[in-house]
Amino acid sequence: MALQCGIVGLPNVGKSTLFNCLSNAKAQAANFPFCTIEPNVGVITVPDERLTKLAEIIHPGRIVPTTVEIVDIAGLIRGASKGEGLGNKFLANIRETDAIIHVLRCFDDGNITHVNGSIDPVRDKEEVDAELQLRDLETIESRISKVEKLAQVGGEKNAKITFEVLSKYKDVLNQGKSARTVSFESKEEQAVARDLFLLTNKPIMYVCNVDDASVVKGNDYVEAVKKVAKEEHAEVIVVAAKTEADIAELETYEDRQLFLQELGLEESGVSRLIKSAYKLLDLETFITAGPMEVKAWTYHKGWKAPQCAGVIHTDFEKGFIRAEVIKYEDYLKYASEAAIREAGKLNIEGKDYIVQDGDIMHFRFNV
C-alpha cells in the first residue's frame, strides 16, 4: 500500500533538511531556491513501540515495521499556479500525493535567506495556499463550463449534483479558502468531491520548523500558525529540523535518547511527524505475531477483516473464513497464546468485524 505524503513549502524553510532526517535518500539541502528539482521519495519506517514489546515476549526471528512514503517537493513560489519558476511540475508532483505536510519557517536566522525577506509563517502558508487554490479554481471553472447546461436542463441528476458541488467549491475558493473547509452530507456529493482530486482538498498537517530554544514550548510564530490551522481542523507539529539532523547522526539509540532528554523531549520530532503522517493518511496497523516474525500491516481505518486479510494476500480475502483476534493489551498481560486462549481472550470474528488499531490477527481461509 504505497501511500505518499508530499512535503511542501516555500524555498529555504527546512523542507529538504527535514526530509534528510526522515529518509536515507539525501536531498540536496542548500541555501538557495530550487535546490530540489526532482521530487525525492523516501520509504519511511513508522515507529511502533508495540512491535518491540511483543518481540520481547515472542522472541521472533525478525521485526518488520510498516512504512509510508514521503516525497520532498521543490519549494513553491508566487506564480506557481501560472507556471512561474517550476510551478507546473511542482503542482503535478503535489497532485500525485495522498496528503500534504506543509513546512513553515518559524525561526529567525540572518544567515539563511528568506525568499520574502522576512519571517512570517502565516503569510508563507497563505502564499502556498493561494497558488494551490488558484490551480483548483482553474479545475473547477473548467468543469463547471461542461456541466452547467446539463444541470440547468434538469434531465440528468448526476450533472445537477456535480454542478452544486462545483459551485460550492468555487464560492469557497474565491474567498481565499481551501476546498477542505467544505463538507458534504450526501454520499453522491462526497463521491463527486473525491473524483475532482483537488489539491486543497487533500489532508494537511503543518510543521513548524523552529530553533532549539523553541522546540519544547514553541514561540509566537508557532502560536500564530496554530490559530489559523485550527480553522482547517489541521494538526500542527513543532520540529527543530537542524536539531533532528544532529540526532540522526548519532550512532546509538542510547545516545539519541540522552540528547532528547537534554532538550527536554521524550520523543524526536521526526518520530512524531512520521506517526502523525501515518494518521493523516487515515491509516492504522494490525499485527501478525509468531516465532518467525512480528510484523505490522497497514490498512485503512474502518476496514473489515476480509479486506485486511487481503493486505497479506489476495487469496486470504477471497477464501476468508474467520479471523482470530487478540487485543494487544491482552497479549502483554497473558504473555502467551496458550494463556490467552485459557483466559478466553482470543476472539473469533467474522466478515463484518471492523479491525481495530493494534489488533493481533491470524486469518483462516480456504481457496
pLDDT of residue 311: 96
pLDDT at 75: 64
* pLDDT above 90: residue 245: no
pLDDT digits 0-9 by tens, 1-48: 568 888 988 888 888 888 888 775 444 444 444 344 455 788 888 889
pLDDT at residue 239 greater than cutoff 90: yes
Q: Which of 156-190 are b and which e, b meaning 16 or more Cβ less than 10 Å from the residue's Cβ?
A: eeebbbbbbbbebbbebbeeebbbbebebeeebbe
Write out pLDDT tens, residues 311-361.
Answer: 999 999 999 999 999 999 999 999 999 999 999 999 999 999 999 999 999
Residue 232 is predicted with a pLDDT of 83
Residue 244 has pLDDT above 80, yes or no: yes
pLDDT top residue among 80 and 176: 176
pLDDT number for residue 155: 60
pLDDT, tens only, 108-127: 887 777 777 789 999 999 98
Report, as an integer, the average pLDDT of 84-94: 66
Q: Pick the more confident residue, 202 or 267.
A: 202
Predicted confidence (pLDDT) at residue 227 exceeds the cutoff of 60: yes
Which pTM was predicted?
A: 0.83
Whole-number average pLDDT of the chain: 86
Least confident range of 181-185, 234-238, 338-342, 348-352: 181-185
**pLDDT digits 0-9 by tens, 252-264:** 878 888 888 888 8
* Predicted pLDDT at 110: 78
Percent of the chain with pLDDT over 70: 89
Give the 3-state secondary structure of the chain: CCCEEEEECCCCCCHHHHHHHHCCCCCCCCCCCCCCCCCEEEEEECCCHHHHHHHHHHCCCEEECCEEEEEECCCCCCCHHHCCCCHHHHHHHHHCCCEEEEEEECCCCCCCCCCCCCCCHHHHHHHHHHHHHHHHHHHHHHHHHHHHHHHHHCCCHHHHHHHHHHHHHHHHHHCCCCHHHCCCCCHHHHHHHHHHCCHHHCCEEEEEECCHHHCCCCCHHHHHHHHHHHCCCCEEEEECHHHHHHHHHCCCHHHHHHHHHHHCCCCCHHHHHHHHHHHHCCEEEEEEECCCEEEEEEEECCCEHHHHHHHHCHHHHHCEEEEEEECHHHHHHHCCHHHHHHCCCEEEECCCCECCCCCEEEEEECC
Q: How confident is the model at residue 92 (pLDDT cuts 50, 70, 90)?
A: confident
Q: Bigger pLDDT: 101 or 244?
A: 101
Question: What pLDDT score does 14 carry?
Answer: 86
Lowest mean pLDDT among 68-82, 264-278, 334-348: 68-82
Per-residue confidence (pLDDT) for residue 121, from 0 to 100: 95
Q: What is the pLDDT of residue 224?
A: 96
